Chains A and B, each alone.
Chain A
């Protein structure tokens, strides 16, 4: 079987967020770039399927030169090959979906694994958009995946617990924490990855969807109030303040 894993390079959550001079993008100065954590679950799942029943695993990312880092990492972890689609991978999820769909269309992938959300952009959109553009089924926020002969069974997280989605392959599955425990790259894997090359292609032209027009920092939260005294007095004062000042009740 052939598996495509979509990997997004994102700013580490600990990075300080500064708005660039254009007023609508992230100033990359202080940013440390990482693989979006959910994509690590997606890749791990692909590698486990490869180790289990055998599969060819292709990692793909839309981005620029720095994005090669996440693909090198994917190769070190066990992806067989990697593709960089040159284009803006940070903005419009619809644009990314179109580029990946154009690449994947005639390549016979049986399974496409994504993260359920790219950290930072927090869209949770690329996977289902890709599923639609490829005309295949989907299951999002998946914590358990079983593959049959041309079918899948996925447990996905919902508000009250989880639900079982069944469907046919090919399909797009987006990973959630809990799907597996991602491994670390082994020295052997890192050495082997050095010998593999990343295929570089220009992303196909796309129709624009949603675009960020302004990026702004949130307003400062007003300074809080400390409640003093013994626990009983603190508790009294808090409940009273929530009632009278905050009018929560």
Chain B
């Protein structure tokens, strides 16, 4: 089988997939769960419960508040302790529902059996409705509400559904384990998404560092209209624009979306959640999170309820090693260091990475030596050194013509910089400011 990849830029950081091949372990619910109402891109959901209310697993506790928004369900059963401000991953306080867990009572409508259900008779519209009802968002990390993606804008047509099984971030193995253990359900989920989108062709892209997953999925998809394509290992292949380029050789235009070239991309986790929502009536209440790190005793893939504290996950993986210097929410390339581990797992949490003292230290920032390595590795064809300087000098209006909004924040530039310059930090700041300027000019 020939391996494909995207053409422009990219890096290959050491993979460190420590938890690869480890079975998914289902963790029991925590004692207290904290479920934020803003776990997705778009408008925060509207809380429906009050202090003292009894809730069951799968019960709707916050409803979609707008077109780009989604539902949030209780992941545990018990009593609502508080609807209040709780710390999120950035340390800022945001509205969340705190639930004291009592037992594990599920709504009767949810099918909890392991039986595989195939061949849905539901029309496409109902599939989309179920996805919204179940509160499904992109589980690759961007957490964009999935039902919105399934609605193809007028004048555009979807031709391909791409399923992202790339998992190009080092250390993370959550999607890998899903493909290995839930392959049949995954296929069913992909077929549901195809139906919801109205496309005939789907391609599942998997990087070549997971040969077992490629083999397994190839066996499973035989006889269906889904194909599996192996990909050369290169970061950031999991970015949707890079994946479209790698699998179909199509270039998403600047400022555009994959639908502009007739493609919609979903993560494998999202496809599985779709299967559970449509076939099993099970809302998105849990997800697989990789807890990993070189000093960690048991790097694992845990199936955890949304709202479980991160500290509980680390405890289950053997406890916080003494030499831990940073706890990263996500992978090492795009993840963010946490200032506290008393925060809940949310829909977008893909991994918890513990970094020890020797790895964590940032190198001293030195002057730019104009080597243009950052330009070479940028998968979007930008000039990171220039964007950083513009941002540093607050010349935000000059950043827009330099296409700063195309930046996917993959961090390849910062990773490769021999002077250890914080390129992405400044570019992200500039992106935020340019976004503000653009919104302000739209509002006028």
Co-complex (A, B): no
B residues engaging A (CB < 8 A)?
none
Mark A residues whose CB is within 8 Å of B. Answer: none
